[in-house]
Structure 1
Amino acid sequence: MNRIIGANQATSDARAKPEVRWLTVDDESAGQRLDNFLLRHLKGVPKTHVYRIIRSGEVRVNKARASADTRVATGDEIRVPPVRVAEPKPLDGAQAAPAREFPVLLEDEAVLAIDKPAGVAVHGGSGVSFGVIEQLRRARPLARTLELVHRLDRETSGILLVAKKRSALKHLQDQFRDRETGKTYLALVLGDWPDKLKVIDAPLHKYLVPGGAGEGERRVKVVPKDDPDGMRAITLVKVRERLPGFTLLEVTIKTGRTHQIRVHLASQGHPIAGDEKYGDFERNKALHKQGLKRMFLHAWRLQFNHPVTNQRVELLAPLPPDLQAFTAAP
């Protein structure tokens, strides 16, 4: 018998042998990515295992194979292979995500926009036990829905959107996917950025660097336009201020590829100051001693249509004090 997600579930024997499960998508879950849908409802199953069963084709949507980024719809039947769900462990001070609120830029019944500090992951996983979203949920136990609309790298500060309704989540994610949002970052790069270089249109390819635990470290590189594995990426660049040895840029992304800004800027010979993956490692050591303790990349401005009123919203998050101090230093 199919189980409707969102309905009350009878408690089962945790020791029972796992069996194939069939989940039916309800209205509240419609529009979610398949991976997020499964991660939300397979509590206790390791994230890496969820992605593994999707890639292997063991997860089926309406009897067909599907990718992790497939959007599920109301009434879709999801086949989930036998997986053992770990028993929930009592949360203690070490295991629980500590409740935490973040500086609020906008909040209403549908949307929460915060100013994320650098050094905080947006969600748990990949060696991080918890992130912004887990901390917010702990701080707001009565909130029915708190879901990330998009992501920021751990070391990137700035505007992060959280949906407080399923309908808002789908509406906002559709805007991000359809390039209807305006996302502008402030980035300090090494050297003197050329005035004429205003558009970077170069495909990107994700790959894994072997080593360490798990599947390896994720990296991104620019590839030729005819590369079959390349994903088109477009970045717009505007010089905001020239400083001795650096250029402060306003960077607007038209596509939301992994590490897009970092890789595009570095590919032009002007990496972001403090970038430990794609930057100048020797310069980074010197910059650290001069007071720059992290990558100088900040999600400064975000424009989107409000999911309820459809009015255009513009949010601004000023540079955090540590970055302001570095640019002001003699």
Structure 2
Amino acid sequence: MKPQVIEETRNWVAINKPPNLVVHDVPGNKHAGSTLVDWLRRQIPEINDNFESADERPGIVHRLDADTSGIILVAKNPNSLKELQTQFKERTTIKKYWALVLGTPPAQGTITGDIVRKSSDTKHEIKRLSFSWDKKAAKMAETSYKVLKTYQSNFSLLEVQPKTGRTHQIRVHLSEEGWPIIGDQLYCNKESRQASAELDLKRQFLHAKKLEFNDPESKERITIQAQLAPDLEQILKRLE
């Protein structure tokens, strides 16, 4: 699967990122040699024209985990990059994800809890995060959700909105509530691992579905939506 352009202006481009694609190269990258930045430099001329060749994150406004699919916003020039990054920092953007979890949460709710690194597998560069009451190290995180649909009485499709932007926030919060994301091999339990194996899902069922932000030039409110990735669509069809 290749990245797909959802919408494009002279200042930014919204991409539907496929799974198994890192945004930019990092140490220990298991997908080394193929990144979204590589694709952008080949496909979007303004990236090479307006950013230095040594820039490892040209135009990258925000991040998505390698195995998470969906919308990622890319600026085409430094001024737009600064403006869009400020919106993310000040939390004036709205990000909504779809996640399939094991369990049946209440119809809607908000999860609040501090997140901190718990341990690290340095061999594989895996950062495991969890709740913490150590206020010196932890960062406050808040996530709201609503149930979109329930499948087979024990799977729930959620629309999830992170109010903060902590690493692995959605995955940690849902797992800590007892609703691990199907396919997640890091924040999981025995039952969710078994369900993931039975569904033959090779990555977490997490998709950046919707993004709202202000155009950096016109200040118009923009809403972008990304079609669900094919592998996730197949999972939902199997559960029908």
1:7-56 per-position Cα deviation (integer Å, ceiling 9, x unaligned): xxxxxxxxxxxxxxxxxxxxxxxxxxxxxxxxxxxxxxxxxxxxxxxxxx
2:19 corresponds to 1:118: yes
Residue matched to 1:107: 8
2:102 corresponds to 1:190: yes
Partner of residue 269 from structure 1, selected from 178, 184, 189 = 178
Residue matched to 1:301: 210
Residue matched to 2:136: 228
Between the aligned partners of 2:5 and 2:122, the Cα distance in structure 1 is 39
1:89-119 per-position Cα deviation (integer Å, ceiling 9, x unaligned): xxxxxxxxxxx96211111110011000011
Structure (1/2) with the larger strand percentage: 2
Q: Which has the higher contact order (CA 8 A, sep 6+)?
A: 2
Runs of 4+ in 1 over 4 A off after TM superposition: none
Letter in 2 for 1:229: A
Specify whether residues 309 and 258 from structure 1 end up closer, same or farther in structure 2 by C-alpha distance, changes over 3 A only. same
Between the aligned partners of 1:319 and 1:217, the Cα distance in structure 2 is 26
1:192-215 per-position Cα deviation (integer Å, ceiling 9, x unaligned): 1123x51111111124424427xx
Aligned 8 A contact 1:199 1:234 in 2: yes
2:219 corresponds to 1:310: yes
Aligned 8 A contact 1:101 1:139 in 2: no
Partner of residue 114 from structure 2, selected from 200, 203, 213 = 203
Aligned 8 A contact 2:212 2:223 in 1: yes
TM-score by length of structure 2 reads 0.88
Residue matched to 1:243: 151
Residue matched to 1:144: 49
Letter in 1 for 2:128: R
1:122-157 per-position Cα deviation (integer Å, ceiling 9, x unaligned): 111122234101221133456323411000000100
2:79 corresponds to 1:171: no
Q: Percent identity?
A: 40
Specify whether residues 230 and 267 from structure 1 end up closer, same or farther in structure 2 by C-alpha distance, changes over 3 A only. same
Aligned 8 A contact 2:143 2:173 in 1: yes
Structure 2 residues without counterparts, runs of 5 or longer: 51-57
Aligned 8 A contact 2:175 2:187 in 1: yes
Residue matched to 2:128: 219
1:168-203 per-position Cα deviation (integer Å, ceiling 9, x unaligned): 0000000000000000000001011123x5111111
Equivalenced residue count is: 227
Letter in 1 for 2:149: E
CA RMSD between the two structures: 2.0
Secondary structure of 1:233's aligned partner: strand
Aligned 8 A contact 1:109 1:164 in 2: yes
TM-score by length of structure 1 reads 0.65
Letter in 2 for 1:106: E
